[in-house]
Structure 1
């Protein structure tokens, strides 16, 4: 039968800002991702003890016409968006359509027991991600706000997740699944998404 696909997330692997990460690295989850990390451990035990054929897919920050990008665009347009902390941590982004294709390929070609990072080819520092959006919208750069202040308002776990670094390698998904993201960078995917959202550029 078909393998069991589990959707984890790359926040299970939060490493220092400039370090490249692949699937061979041990899990180092931030607080919001601990549940995923624990579930992966349980699934691995079921795999060993009961023969469950499991494939784990771990996308980076997924973007499309909704979700965090829609909220970011709206807040930037209203001049309410602030970059939390320095913005120097890496985000590995991936377009929602590329994630969908990866799931289809994983069912067809995925290796049971494997974990696949799903990310485009060009991780960007978080500050660069926001600058990319403001440039596309013709808006001035967003200001900054201290991490500790947002931590008091929204809680440390959320701030930790936003400021965690994800500089992911996507080599395994390309090699084993034959996956090739259509949007190789956030800069390339952003224009298409903004058009889909009906946002003037």
Structure 2
């Protein structure tokens, strides 16, 4: 797997090891190797942009999961290279490949399903052609699209609210938009479920079915304090235009297809986690 030392990736690594699987984590440096081995994986240190090296590593595996990201525009080139390598390594086999997408692919949508028309924001619009190449590759591929991932006080929800000078919790926009959500431990379980099934499922939405509004989340985080709505322009200035535009999307999803696989989310809701859990101040 790639990305095994990241927020979601480390949860998946622990999930796989805990289920008795032998995992090779492809990492960029010795620090990453130490973290991966500490979680019970074998670490392979190399350049994730080296498609030849990636191909060798993938060819030795029974399944491949790609979760790595650079955190900037370089993720597009990384994904293209990974898809090229995994196609060369697993093409003509039935070995499963799980590629990571995201819920923003479907834009504003009150009932996101895998069949909904794509309408990604500018931040992630590049993903669509890469994912189409995966689906057209002949691989036993699943494009897993997690909702907004949270849990253990980390992820996107930990860094986008903040407080103003009066101690009020800042919303993103007026807070009327819904966020489709999923706990990090639950989405890790879904990745494992897909890998163990060993078949290509096409697009798969990973959402808990809980889709609170940003205002509800802000109020849960604020407790006895107040919330502070922002103009769209203010949110774009504070968070960056592309990121803010993604967070302003109004999205809801049930994750029905994932549940048909026997997946049952068990983590606390993001609202509860904000009120009394890992995000509570």
CA contact 2:103–2:147 (8 Å) conserved in 1: yes
Q: Is it true that 1:13 corresponds to 2:101 in the alignment?
A: no
1:95, distance to aligned residue in structure 2 (A): 0.7
Unaligned runs of 5+ in 1: none
Structure-1 residue corresponding to 2:251: 166
Rounded to whole Å, the distance in 1 between the matches of 2:96 and 2:179 is 29
Task: Structure 2: state its 5+ residue gaps.
Answer: 1-93
Paired residue for 1:142? 227
Equivalent residue number for residue 38 of structure 1: 129
Q: CA deviation at 1:108?
A: 1.4
Checking the alignment, whether the CA contact within 8 Å between 1:183 and 1:189 is kept in structure 2 is: no
Cα deviation 1:76-129 (Å, max 9, x = unaligned): 498264112221111011111001111100111264142111111221111112
Among 180, 184, 188, the alignment partner of 2:264 is 180
- Residue-pair matches, total: 186
From 88, 96, 101, the counterpart of 1:3 = 96
Q: Comparing both structures, which one devotes a greater share of its residues to helix?
A: 1
Instruction: Output the CA distance in 1 between the equivalents of 2:244 and 2:132.
Output: 25
Is the alpha carbon distance of 1:83 and 1:20 closer, same or farther for their aligned partners in structure 2, counting shifts above 3 Å? same
Give the Å deviation of 1:67. 2.7
**3-state SS, counterpart of residue 246 of structure 2:** helix
Superposition TM-score, scaled by structure 2 size: 0.60
Equivalent pair of 1:121/1:184 in contact (CA under 8 Å): no
Which residue does 2:10 correspond to in 1?
none
1:28 is aligned to 119
The corresponding residue for 2:146 is 59
CA spacing shift, 1:154–1:109, aligned 2, 3 Å: same
| 4+ long deviations beyond 6 Å | none
Q: CA RMSD in A?
A: 2.4
Larger relative contact order (CA 8 Å, sep ≥ 6):
1
